[in-house]
């Protein structure tokens, strides 16, 4: 006979993300400050879980760099929160790094409508995941990262299987160990196990935070590796608004020591490219020469201008 206070046989879900958190059983009795404290205490576990995955994350960065340099694309694919996080990370790359929007793409089960609305059953339609991969025409140059907090999302599983069949390299970001049958098709498993959520099954919480941290590292790391920064300065930024125009001018001023008028003139002469403007000034070269040096250096300013380095940070 089952104790009335114990879970019924089979009631406990084996997925970590679906289990109950013993630390928050009485959270519904807490005052607002108590809720904040409980959530903060649990959120502190997230960076530690992500840190256990530092080596596979580094492998994902290296693979993304290889993908970009070969002319391939990085795809994120997921459902619900996982899909939205992938689309978010992909959409932030062009304004941050001046990257071609095709380089990093996010695919979400249910399509763009699912970004703002719950699309019932979208994550369960496994064949849709495979169809999305086919529609994107993935091939051996591409890298697909499946995102599935529970590790069991059918849509993501079949997308990974199809991507691997088409020759793409595959990875999965999950906060509960995926089944062996899924891992058999994964080249790089990234598994930050953050434990049960504050609210059972609400993977937009710790699992979502862990996923965001991982995706931040993959794209930021890869973009750094292909020369999108000079030190920690965003030198491939696209000046699409007043703030970014000002940032572009300030970067040129800080690195080269010129005044704002000269920085503005350099940027105009470079075609609006901060990176090209820097190399022009540091080498005393024209635009064509600077662009040629950058191309030969794989887009990396430090290689295009040997011995150069950004100025130190003034406290």
- Going by pLDDT thresholds of 50, 70 and 90, the confidence category of residue 10 is low
CATH class of 47-225: alpha beta
Going from N- to C-terminal start, the domains of the chain cover 47-225, 230-304
> What's residue 11's pLDDT?
58
Q: Which two tokens stand for residue 120?
A: 């019932």
What's the confidence (pLDDT) of residue 201?
87
Average pLDDT of span 99-110: 96
- Catalytic: which of 65, 123, 197, 249? 123
> Using one digit for the tens of pLDDT, what is the confidence trace for 122-138?
887 889 999 999 999 99
Render pLDDT for 150-164 as a digit per residue (tens, 0 to 9): 999 999 999 999 999
List 18, 48, 55, 92, catalytic entry: 92
- Whether 12 and 22 have beta carbons less than 8 Å apart is answered as no
Note the pLDDT of residue 123.
Answer: 85
Architecture per CATH, domain 230-304, reads as Orthogonal Bundle (1.10)
Note whether 47-225 and 230-304 share their fold: no
**pTM above threshold 0.75:** yes
pLDDT digit string (tens) for 73-97?
999 999 999 999 999 999 999 988 9
Q: What integer pLDDT is reported at residue 268 of this predicted model?
A: 94
Average the pLDDT over 301-305 and give the result: 93
Distance CA 108, CA 230 (A): 33
What is the average pLDDT across 28-52? 96
Is 92 part of the annotated catalytic residue set?
yes
Give tens-digit pLDDT for 214-245.
999 999 999 999 999 999 999 988 888 899 89
Measured N-to-C along each axis, helices 260-269 and 274-283 cross at an angle, to the nearest 10 degrees, of 110
Q: What is d(CA 314, CA 279) in angstroms, rounded to the nearest whole number?
A: 23
pLDDT at 118: 83
The answer to whether residue 55 is catalytic is no
Highest mean predicted confidence (pLDDT) among 85-89, 114-118, 199-203, 298-302: 85-89
Whether the pLDDT of residue 3 is over 50: the answer is no
Average predicted confidence (pLDDT) for the chain: 92
Residue 39's CB: how many other CB atoms inside 10 A? 17
Task: Judge whether residue 173 has pLDDT over 50.
Answer: yes
* Region class of 80: left (phi > 0), else alpha (psi between -120 and 50), else beta: left
Map tokens 């406290």 to a residue.
315
Whether residue 185 is predicted with pLDDT greater than 70 in this model: the reply is: yes
What's the CA gap between 143 and 64, in Å, rounded? 7
């Amino acid at each position: 006979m089952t104790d009335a206070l114990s879970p019924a046989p089979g009631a406990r879900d084996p997925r970590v993300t679906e289990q109950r958190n013993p630390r928050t059983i009485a959270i519904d009795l807490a005052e607002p400050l108590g809720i904040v404290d409980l959530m903060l205490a649990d959120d502190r576990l997230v960076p530690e879980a992500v840190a256990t995955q530092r080596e596979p994350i580094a492998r994902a960065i290296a693979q993304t760099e290889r993908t970009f340099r070969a002319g391939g694309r990085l795809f994120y694919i997921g459902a619900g929160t996982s899909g939205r996080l992938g689309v978010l990370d992909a959409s932030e790359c062009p304004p941050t790094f001046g990257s071609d929007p095709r380089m990093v793409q996010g695919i979400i089960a249910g399509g763009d409508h699912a970004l703002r609305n719950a699309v019932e059953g979208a994550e369960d339609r496994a064949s849709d995941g495979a169809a999305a991969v086919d529609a994107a025409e993935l091939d051996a140059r591409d890298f697909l990262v499946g995102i599935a907090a529970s590790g069991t999302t059918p849509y993501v599983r079949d997308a990974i299987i199809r991507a691997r069949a088409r020759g793409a390299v595959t990875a999965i970001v999950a906060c509960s160990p995926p089944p062996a049958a899924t891992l058999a098709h994964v080249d790089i498993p990234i598994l930050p196990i953050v434990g049960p959520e504050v609210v059972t099954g609400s993977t937009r919480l710790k699992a979502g935070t862990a996923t965001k941290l991982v995706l931040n590292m993959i794209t930021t790391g890869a973009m750094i590796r292909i020369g999108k920064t000079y030190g920690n300065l965003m030198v491939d930024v696209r000046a699409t608004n007043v703030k970014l125009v000002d940032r572009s001018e300030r970067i040129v001023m800080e690195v080269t020591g010129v005044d704002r008028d000269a920085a503005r003139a350099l940027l105009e002469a470079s075609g609006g490219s901060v990176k090209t403007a820097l190399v022009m000034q540091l080498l005393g070269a024209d635009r064509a020469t600077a662009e040629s040096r950058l191309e030969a250096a794989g887009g990396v300013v430090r290689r295009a201008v040997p011995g150069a380095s950004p100025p130190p940070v003034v406290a």
